[in-house]
Amino acid sequence: MAQEKAIRIRQIKSGICCPEKHKRVLRGLGFRRLNQVVERPDTPATRGMVFKVRHLVEVLE
């Protein structure tokens, strides 16, 4: 079975003053605290979520 690609994402800004939708996207990605790094499968759905909150997160290589 081929190894599934994954992306690593870090939350770099707080979601406190953001709209409720952005807060829910951060929680959906698995973030609980600032500077946390999560690893998610590289799918179009995950990429769309990252694009939605691109001002709060950064993609690590």
Report pLDDT digits (tens) over 14-29.
999 999 999 999 999 9
Is 22 part of a structural domain of the chain? yes
Is 21 part of a structural domain of the chain? yes
CA–CA gap between residue 13 and residue 41 (Å, rounded): 22
pLDDT at 2: 60
Is the entire prediction scored with pTM above 0.95?
Answer: no
Domain count, the chain: 1
Residue-number span of the structural domain to which 10 is assigned: 6-60
Is 1 part of a structural domain of the chain? no
pLDDT at 1: 52
Is 56 part of a structural domain of the chain? yes
Angle of CA points 35, 59, 7, to nearest 5°: 105
Contacts of 4 (CB under 8 A, 6+ apart): 41, 42
Is 25 part of a structural domain of the chain? yes
pLDDT at 4: 81
The low-confidence residues of the chain, meaning pLDDT below 50, are none
Please report, for the domain that includes residue 26, its CATH number: 3.30.1390.20
Contacts of 39 (CB under 8 A, 6+ apart): 6, 7, 8, 9
